[in-house]
Structure 1
Amino acid sequence: MIHLMVHIRFPDGNSVIVGDLAVAEPDPGRGGALEGEFRYRRAYLDDPRAFSIDPEHLPLEPGIFEARRPRAGVPAVFEDSLPDDWGRELLTRKHRLTRDEQRVPVFLKLVGLNGLGALGYEDAGPPRGRRTRRWTLAKIAAQTKAAAQAEAAVPDLPALAAAARRVLEGEDPARNDLDLLFRAGSSLGGARPKVLIYDDGIHWLAKLPVWRDTVNFVRIEAATLKLACAAGLEVPDCRVVQTGNTEALLVRRFEIADPATSGGRYHRISLATLLGAENFYNLGYADIAEVLRRVSDRPQTDLMGIFRQAVFNAMVGNTDDHLKNFSMLHDARGWRLSPGYDLLPDVMRREEHVLSFGLRGNRPDYAALIELGRQTGLSSARMMGTIEEVYRAVENWESVFRSYDVPEADMEFLRPTIKRRLLRCAPESIDHRPGTPSP
């Protein structure tokens, strides 16, 4: 059994114990299914700063919450603390995990107080008493550790990129490689290598290039974030930096509270968790809007925000719009939609979006955007005005991409799909559509 104390860092940098998480050993009679439970600590429930860490599934109240997720064994909000493919590969190699040990509770124990977002985990040992399906979680008197760890001010990005390349190529990395990557916080989420940067009082997420990239992801993503900003989306600051013979994209971390030196965090939860989306799902932007109505403390702003992002994704071709790529943050005012992140055109030529745009499915056109606007509860004037604003920004994509020195070959690769999408999604008020002569 694994028994973890769950910590949370508030925006002011103070940390408290939220509750206890316990997961039984895999049940061989049920294909290795995991049973897990969580409960809030009484001290946390009585804390005036307390809030539900998952407002849809873990209300702020006493009692035991069963995970009901036999593959993971923990409520999904805790899995949001974990890295995806890249980080789990590093954890597996660093700790030499067997296949049976590569389980979510084990990863949480290894990530400890350095997980993604505001939550951290501390091994509390096995609970006392007889183990049953609804065991009693032991009382732990230990105080929280300081969870804020300073990143290297100027890490050796070329060395990190080389170490990441060796891991991605399947080489057996040297211990120095793994130590270097972990010191730089490289157990972060996503399928591509990332490290943490602390420079001039700002925390950054550095996205490293991959040797097998067929396009310049670094410059394309930087340009897409700039384009999104021009389209009215809230996005984090970013910049491109040189890393030896290659480059990296620095993206400002929006879950870090100001001032950065406080070590404070904003709690973050994915829309996948809020919607209970597991594995394959048939959900859409309208489902996100429903969650925002229930959870957001500024619903009108967030509903407008998710609609604007949906329109942008449709026009630029951000087809990798799965629910892990949307989050909510808890700040001083409560829950809000996070800034947009992981925005890219359709570089993989998927054509269909992960999320649907209403009854018209996963290949949006102008009619689908209008339908989504109605489902989101926007007035006709607001939805049509937003579509036109985003269109005007995205049709200028080539100028923005050139300003970020995106290679011409990459722009040539992207041009047909973006042109086709702009034509399909062009508002009726636009006279000059792509492919037609100017009047």
Structure 2
Amino acid sequence: MFYQLYEMNHAAMVPFRASADAMKLAYQSPLNPMSHTTLGRTMAAGFEVFERMTRRYSKPEFGLHETEVDGKPVPVQERIVWKKPFCNLIHFDRAVPAKRPSDPRFLVVAPMSGHYATLLRGTVEALLPKADVHITDWIDARMVPMADGTFDFDDYVDYIIEMLHHLGPNTHVVAVCQPSVPVLAAVAVMEAAGDPLAPASMTLMGGPIDTRINPTAVNELAQTKPIEWFRDNVIMNVPWPQPGFLRPVYPGFLQLSGFMSMNLDRHMIAHKDFFMHLVKDDGDPAEKHRDFYDEYLAVMDLTAEFYLQTVDEVFIKHSLPKGEMTHHGVPVDTTAIRSVALLTVEGENDDISGVGQTQAAQTICTNIPDDMRMHYMQPDVGHYGVFNGSRFRKEIAPRIINFANAHAQRNAPAVKRVIRGGKSA
């Protein structure tokens, strides 16, 4: 019922938002003498802040139409190359010469934790000059009809394996935050099965591999509540007239409320500063605020079964680091990983995945040779800075590229033998 009330409230605010937007334009019009005064800019700023704080933010665009390869500008085309009801695989196709040596091929697994894959725009942008990039574009669960079935943690692992099969041998997988656990599980499943299309390397960034280490506020909440509490309090049915009508979901607006409440004072100050920049007609900071919150406030729903299974297995039971996780009833054995190189990346000030939680992957993957593993901790960045921003571009992205290049051909001979024998998936 709460979701329905949220939708009704949003619908009820439509005329007020429209009026606020119209008044903002009126006070900003150069034909209005007040637009050149402090009072006029104050009125316009107030209306804009009101409109932005009450709107529903739609899925943003990646907007990556060009990159630089070998010092030259190259057009980029966004193409869907694989699709299932709950995910599209997007390829950022660079128009590079056919005879040019190929760059490492990356599968970037975006978080399915409330925000859209476009949150990793900066991640993709930093990798594109030296990599062939694909990214998972998870679908808002409220847009998926009930007829398309359910989607749980096991399905997530299956999707990753299917995408790696689609991309073929010598692919490098990069998991950002939440997908670190299912990606590690998928690689373990593939290695245990002797799958020749297991990735050449995997990079886990700011992920909750073992949340018993340096637990954050998010981890502690999960520990203080039984799984029944989450099922009873945060799972709701998608209201009419959405395509996913009646699908049980964890609504994106609830997840966003939780994240914002963790740093509420910071968000309040940011909006106050935004208002003052508008009054002072200071365009650049105001535009940066719009860009950030257009992305941050755009949220999607998660299927109830995936959310509850993730909370239970990752945050309450700690199944993966304990060696108790299963995939379709079969144990997930991380010690089976032998031929996939492992890079773990953490941020010194990460308040979502505490320091050491991602590095735990190095501990549970005991059979990866020492020369195929590396851990890097980036100083002076929080969770967002692990995969975006200036330090990511200058410090982290080059390490990911170099690590992939260093381990690009390690498993190629075995793959070629299997493919020639007609056994490839």
Could you say which structure has the higher helix fraction? 2
For normalisation by structure 2, the TM-score amounts to 0.28
Q: Which has the higher contact order (CA 8 A, sep 6+)?
A: 2
